[in-house]
Amino acid sequence: MSDLLERLRGRGWRLTAQRRVVAEVLDGDHVHYTADEVHAKAAELLPEISRATVYNTLGELVSLGEVMEVSTDGRAKRYDPNAHHAHQHLVCSQCGTIRDVHPTGDLMAVLPAEERFGFQVAAVEVTYRGVCPNCSTS
């Protein structure tokens, strides 16, 4: 993630303190924050950052393909910085914990041509749901 900012600057991104902070919050593996969580954590580093800027910045990172948008529950969208490594998600039905997972095989190939209805299919998203070890013991 450290070269993310350089990469974006190469694409004409103006480098501001706000964007730096948002990128810093999203740094790391297995990060799946909501926009408000990103805002809260960013505000610890840069108290005057506004909600609108966080939303704008997240939207730009998604458009640029640097961050994945995940909506596993129909509530707030979550932002996953692990966009450069294809993966899917495993979600706990009780506590909402999200793990990145890697199913085997070609998930696109299992959709037969006659089930594509003339669509040009470009992507597949998979969400596994279950109960995590923490929730199943308590």
Partner DNA sequence: ATCCTACATTAGACAATGTCTAAGTCAAGA
Partner DNA sequence: TCTTGACTTAGACATTGTCTAATGTAGGAT
Would the annotation count 121 as a binding residue? no
Judged by beta carbon, residue 44 or residue 125, the one nearer a copy of itself is: 125
Structure tokens at 26: 């999203």
Distance of CA 59 to the CA centre of its chain: 11
Structure tokens at 102: 């890697």
Would the annotation count 135 as a binding residue? yes
Structure tokens at 110: 């299992």
Judged by beta carbon, residue 15 or residue 95, the one nearer a copy of itself is: 95
Polymer length of the chain:
138
Which residues within the stretch 9-28 sit at the binding site for DNA (CB under 7 A)?
Answer: 9, 13-19
Q: Which of 77, 82, 83, 96 binds a copy of itself (CB under 8 A)?
A: 77
Which residues within the stretch 76-135 sit at the binding site for DNA (CB under 7 A)?
Answer: 76-77
Contacts of 54 (CB under 8 A, 6+ apart): 18, 22, 35, 38, 39, 42
Contacted entry of a copy of itself, DNA, none for residue 67, CB cut-off 5 to 8 Å set by kind:
none
Annotated binding site for Zn(2+): 92, 95, 132, 135
